[in-house]
Amino acid sequence: MNFSSKLLEQAVEEFGKLPGVGKKTALRLVLHLLKQSDADVSRFTTSLDRLKSDIKYCKTCFNISDHDVCEICSSVKRDRHIVCVVEDTRDVMAIENTNQFNGLYHVLGGLISPMEGVGPADLKIEGLIDRVRSGEIQEVILALSATMEGDTTIFYLYRKLRDFQIQISTIARGISFGGELEYVDEITLGRSIATRIPYERNVG
Ligand SMILES: [Zn+2]
């Protein structure tokens, strides 16, 4: 692309770094922004600025939050005996949308993936063990994607958690293998949480 302006080229280059955004789309987005009012563009850039500087991670469940402890962890209406373990904040959003789960969450921040060099130490696994050790939790639901990485992570967590006096369950896999949790429809996801199964039964 031959740009008539260095500033335009730089902006297109930055937008083009976003996942799923090619050069053409990046150019379309930048030209669109150029046509917006100063106030709109300012709101846009402020929200991006604050995204990195002000967003926090809940110190209990590690979900993205505006506060040190997120709204779910600090709610008195939630069942504190059940913790649903998920890969990232998109899964929390998907499960909350089902209205089928009233417990707490634990956000791992990824899945174990030797191929991508992600090991257990890169995830919030110790934080989960600490929560279970504190004794309030009676059940841990491992709600991870039905992928190789999901299964590897579930098995690792199971070995870490099996000696505690808690129930360990996985969500029922009405979800096809390879299914990413965030793409599953709400009804299927809600049902798979309601009909979760003890993990021991899976490993035999
Ligand atoms: Zn939290």
Q: Are residues 118 and 172 in the same domain?
A: yes
Sequence length of the chain is 204
Q: What is the CATH number of the domain that holds 166?
A: 3.40.1360.10
Token pair listed for 137: 């939790």
Cα–ligand 1 centroid distance for 106 (angstroms): 7
Cα–ligand 1 centroid distance for 60 (angstroms): 5
Give the pLDDT confidence of 150-160 residue by residue, as tens digits.
Answer: 999 999 999 99
Predicted TM-score of the model (pTM)? 0.80
Give the pLDDT confidence of 120-171 residue by residue, as tens digits.
Answer: 999 999 999 999 999 899 999 999 988 889 999 999 999 999 999 999 998 8
Cα–ligand 1 centroid distance for 64 (angstroms): 8
Cα–ligand 1 centroid distance for 63 (angstroms): 6
Q: What is the CATH number of the domain that holds 15?
A: 1.10.8.420
DSSP structural state of residue 106? E
Cα–ligand 1 centroid distance for 73 (angstroms): 4
Distance in angstroms (rounded) separating the CA atoms of residues 109 and 121: 11
Cα–ligand 1 centroid distance for 69 (angstroms): 5
